[in-house]
Chains A and B, each alone.
Chain A
Amino acid sequence: MSPKVELKHVTKKYESLVALNDLNLTINDGEYLTLLGPTGSGKTTTLLLIAGLIQPDKGGEIYIDDVPVNDISTENRNIGFVFARYALFPHLDVVDNLIFSPRVKGENLEESRKSAREMLELMVLSGRGDALPKELSGGMKQRVALARTLMSGAKLLLLDEPLGALDARIRMALRKELRKIVKDLKITAIHATNDITEAFLISDRVAILREGTLIQIGTPAEVYEKPRNIFVANFLSDTNFFGGIVKSVDIQKKSALLVLEGELRAKTNKTSKPENFRIVLGVRAEDIQIKPRFSMDEPNHFHGEVESSKFISGTNRYEVILENKGLVIIRVKASKEWFEEGDRVTISFHPRETLLFDYPEEGLEKALELE
């Protein structure tokens, strides 16, 4: 059994800065959880707190397997930690790095050396045992860091941006490997990252943090389909936001008519808001169709002109300037026919594929701010 982790009312302040604000979080045993958020959202702080490398402010409690660990020092918590910059001991070769943990725990060194060699094989690092950390490439260092942590036998793995220092392409390759290893070993893992694709690819559940506060937690599909607020919607995908008001609600047809900025009319299936209520309509870039201009004056059909057209890895990304000067971002699967800059187009979206939010009190821009 791998451990379960619980944080109750955990707060961490540094003088005037609130790094973490009343965090309540349960990580189930054997679960792979990602802490996802922009720089300064409290991801690393959470990991350091669970590891015991920093202490929570008064009132906060952390449990590992239902045991309160506030008074247990790091070395006795039996956790594994992978650091963003790996922290491989520069004066020790790869094998000595790997057997550091067995050594300080007084385990049999011969046996540890043997399992270190097996570990190196598993990590495709055979023959690198005598190398010093500075002689390894970035990808190798990352795998040694992971191997060293696994050698400690810990069943709770804390990963702080473990792939953040790598080249983009290697990062893509390694995240799949990472999930596989963790799952094969049946370890509980908590992984901090600011990369949405990484979070979705790697984890069972995603916890989205912003400015030290937990905003939403759920499986990738849950948080993606039902974002709690416009920050989450914007952070997880390229979403177009239109401010507006609810014009009329048709309860029977389960639809509502909206009037958006610039006199655009839109229909949505989300009807929980009363008439004349101020709202923000969100439409994801991939939920918008783009067609050559045709004259149709219906809700959810807007006319515009392609301002930029770019092919990115199997998709076409368009920026369309609407007639009311609004900018809409559209992403579609690349096909043989695409639009060039200057093409006149009509864009449309289905009433079902919309997101409806209350208009944020602090204003749209502030609510979307990433840092």
Chain B
Amino acid sequence: MPEIKLSNISKHYDEVIAVDSVNLTVRNGEYVALLGPSGCGKTTTLRIIAGLTLPTEGEVFIDGIDVTYAPPGDRDIGFVFQHFEIFPFWDVWDNVGYGPKLRGLDEMEIEKSVWEALETTKLTNKVDNLPEELNTPELQRVGLARALATGAKLMLFDEALGALDPKVKAIFQHELRKIVKKNKLTAIHVTHDQLEAMAIADRIIVMRKGKILQIGKPTELYYSPNDIFTANFLGESNFIEGVVSKVTETGSEIQLRDGSTLRTDEKAIKRGSRVVINIRHELLRLYTIERLSALNFVPGKVIGYRFLGDRHSYEVKLDSGEIIGVKEFARAPPSFKMEDTVTVRMDTSLAVVFKYPSDGLAPHLSLE
């Protein structure tokens, strides 16, 4: 089981810096996701690990061996591409058998590894089909089987589920994770879809503009983001502006623009400083109690409602004019309707307080 280490990796294309001094260790048997918007350098990083792109600077180690300039064929990897690239002139069997054949295995061994890969990916009834006869999910499976059949222990997935319908994708994410875990593989999975990253990975690496912003378990990134971009990119959050009015030993109090006060356990801030409170939609609750003026209760008015199946999603306009989102996991009919006056209870135990950025919020909330 391989361990991957990137040391100070950079990639420059003329003026553009695609990857900027990336340091990263992926442990044996770990499934990590490289997450970020288009152009953040995640695919370039993956291609550098695969040897399909050479870095401008830095080294790549697999199992402690410097492979920075080794051709992809010498790295013992499996790579699944976004558009699968199933060789159109071979049937499923020959596609999957190509890797083992290149490794010079004998007929028996080839047959065994191909068959195992096809069983894992549930393709045993498609052996003789040509790619043109398969639908997208099946092609995706062939791509995976072809990578598995090589026997490589390091799997690299480049938006490998990106071409699937959302529903199919949601199902296959869990299957893919199971396959990786069952075969004790190490996997690096590039995606722009935060839900996919959380569903699939042990750890997530958030990238933006060529740099790594944060590495951590899904819950760590979700509840303790290092910066506003990460907080916004994972899940759905409110960003409420305020000013620190009081700092005590147990926490601080923050005055919002409409005058109401939130108490948080954040201590590392100065009184009088401008802050942004990041609080998840589902950590808010609505009450009908009017004008309840207590800590962590903020008055507002319902201006939007959508039914989302397992949850209700409300838009509430605070007196300050700020619009916040509230998500309620419940199967009962909605408790509130448009124009209702409500009080929002903000559970700040999992909220995060950021310093108000000197360049304003907008550039940090930009998703591109």
Contacts and interface: CB of A to CB of B under 8 A. Distances in A.
Co-complex (A, B): yes
Interface of A: 38-39, 137-139, 167-170, 172-173, 194-197, 200-201, 219-221, 224, 235-238, 284-287, 308, 310-315, 317, 319, 331, 333-334, 353, 370-371
Given A137-B368, A353-B331, A194 B222 contact: no
A201 B167 contact: no
Interface string B308-334: 111001000000000000010101000
A38 B135 CA distance: 12
Instruction: Tell me whether chain A's interface is mostly helix, strand or loop, or mixed.
Output: mixed
Contacts of B167: 38, 194, 196, 235, 370
A137 B192 CA distance: 15
Nearest to A234: B167
A313 B218 CA distance: 8
A169 B308 contact: no
Question: By CB atoms of chain A within 10 A, which of B137, B165, B195, B280 has the most?
Answer: B165
Contact of B218 (A38, A220, A312): A312
Nearest to A170: B367
A317 B307 contact: no
Contact of A314 (B137, B166, B178, B222): B222
B82 to A, nearest CB: 13
Given A167-B37, A308-B178, A371-B168, A286 B310 contact: yes
Interface residues of B, number: 42
Contacts of A310: 174, 177, 198-199, 218
Contacts of B219: 311, 334
Given A194-B166, A371-B165, A138 B38 contact: yes
A371 B282 CA distance: 33
Contact of B307 (A139, A220, A287, A371): A220
19 contacts: A138-B38, A139-B367, A168-B196, A170-B37, A196-B167, A201-B308, A201-B313, A220-B306, A237-B310, A310-B198, A310-B218, A311-B218, A312-B198, A312-B199, A313-B222, A313-B236, A314-B235, A353-B331, A370-B137
A286 B195 contact: no
Contact of B368 (A138, A284, A308, A331): A138
A169 B192 contact: yes
Given A287-B331, A313-B222, 10 more contacts: A39-B135, A167-B367, A170-B367, A195-B166, A197-B308, A200-B309, A313-B234, A313-B235, A314-B282, A317-B199
A331 to B, nearest CB: 7
Contacts of A285: 310
Closest 5 pairs between A and B when the two form their complex, measured CB to CB: A168-B193, A286-B310, A167-B192, A333-B329, A313-B235
Contacts of B165: 38-39, 194, 370-371
A220 B218 CA distance: 30
A114 B170 CA distance: 45
Contacts of A314: 222, 235, 280-282, 327
B194 interface: yes
B193 to A, nearest CB: 4
A199 to B, nearest CB: 10
Contacts of A169: 37, 192-194, 233, 367
Question: By CB atoms of chain B within 10 A, which of A284, A319, A333 has the most?
Answer: A333
A235 B165 CA distance: 11
B7 interface: no
A195 B167 CA distance: 7
B136 A371 contact: yes
A331 B310 contact: yes
Contacts of B280: 314
Contacts of A220: 306-309
Nearest to B306: A201
Nearest to B166: A195
Contacts of A219: 307
Nearest to A235: B167
A239 to B, nearest CB: 11
Contacts of B166: 194-197
Interface string B330-368: 010000000000000000000000000000000000011
Nearest to B315: A176
Nearest to A329: B174
B368 A39 contact: no
B312 to A, nearest CB: 10
A313 B194 CA distance: 8
A313 B219 CA distance: 8
B313 A237 contact: no
Nearest to B328: A333
A313 to B, nearest CB: 4
Given A38-B167, A172-B236, A333-B329, A221 B307 contact: yes
